[in-house]
């Protein structure tokens, strides 16, 4: 387990060893959020990998879990619909006190916070020479398949804010088994595919992804106040 102690503008960065069971992750986030709210714990960015599983957001439709026997499924409590987590995907749980400014994100602005998470993933992807983009009406980060030109999702976003403390976060597809997404309609968007750095021909490791995420954090959430989104 690797940790960096927090400063006023830098949350603790924690990297979990091995595969983290989803119920344990939920319990750990809930405890950390309670500590942040009580002033007994600092902010944290927690990087994990999960065993193969599906999670349902608050807008998930039961019929969009198309293969319920394939992997365990869990109610996540976050916003959004169905998503997959598994080996080769870096999930970053972001627990921040949103009553104060974080770089470009002003206090108590959830829309700008989500925009900041999107920008974070986009900037991380640029370090692999991948152009990640937002799409109107579609949550997450998208890339154009170089072979077909069609949009495919490479990064998912799902958040929850409890009394102005954020939890849940983002998931970046580094090298997961993309066939595992076939048991759900990812984020309710049946007409679009999913991709990964590996599928784009980029042999990135999880460590490479962590380095990219850490380097992309400060330009969005760190340092002095930037222009708001």
Catalytic residues: 187
Phi and psi, residue 164, nearest 5° = 70, 20
Strands (E), 136-190: 138-144, 151-162, 165-173
Beta bridge partners of 195: none
Instruction: Identify the residue whose tokens are 């997450």.
Output: 140
φ/ψ region of 10 (left if φ > 0, alpha if ψ in -120 to 50, else beta) reads: beta
Instruction: Identify the residue whose tokens are 């608050």.
Output: 58
8 Å CB contact between 55 and 85: yes
Handedness of CA 180, 184, 190, 195 (dihedral sign): negative
């Amino acid at each position: 387990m690797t940790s960096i102690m927090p400063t006023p503008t830098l949350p603790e960065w924690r990297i979990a060893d091995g595969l983290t069971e989803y119920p344990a992750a939920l319990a750990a986030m809930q405890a950390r959020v309670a500590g942040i709210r009580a002033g007994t714990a600092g902010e944290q960015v927690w990087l994990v990998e999960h065993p193969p599983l599906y999670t349902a957001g608050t807008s998930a439709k039961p019929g969009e879990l198309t293969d319920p026997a394939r992997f365990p499924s869990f109610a996540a409590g976050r916003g959004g619909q169905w998503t997959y987590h598994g080996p080769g995907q870096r999930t970053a749980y972001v627990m921040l006190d949103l009553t104060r400014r974080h770089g470009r994100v002003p206090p108590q602005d959830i829309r700008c916070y989500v925009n900041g998470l999107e920008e974070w993933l986009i900037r991380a992807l640029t370090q692999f020479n991948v152009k990640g983009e937002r799409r109107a009406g579609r949550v997450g980060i998208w890339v154009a398949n170089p072979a077909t030109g069609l949009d495919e999702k490479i990064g998912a976003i799902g958040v929850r804010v409890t009394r102005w403390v954020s939890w849940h976060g983002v998931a970046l597809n580094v090298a997961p088994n993309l066939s595992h997404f076939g048991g759900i309609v990812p984020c309710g968007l049946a007409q679009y595919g999913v991709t990964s750095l590996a599928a784009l021909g980029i042999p990135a490791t999880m460590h490479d992804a962590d380095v990219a995420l850490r380097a992309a954090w400060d330009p969005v959430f760190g340092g002095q106040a930037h222009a708001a989104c």
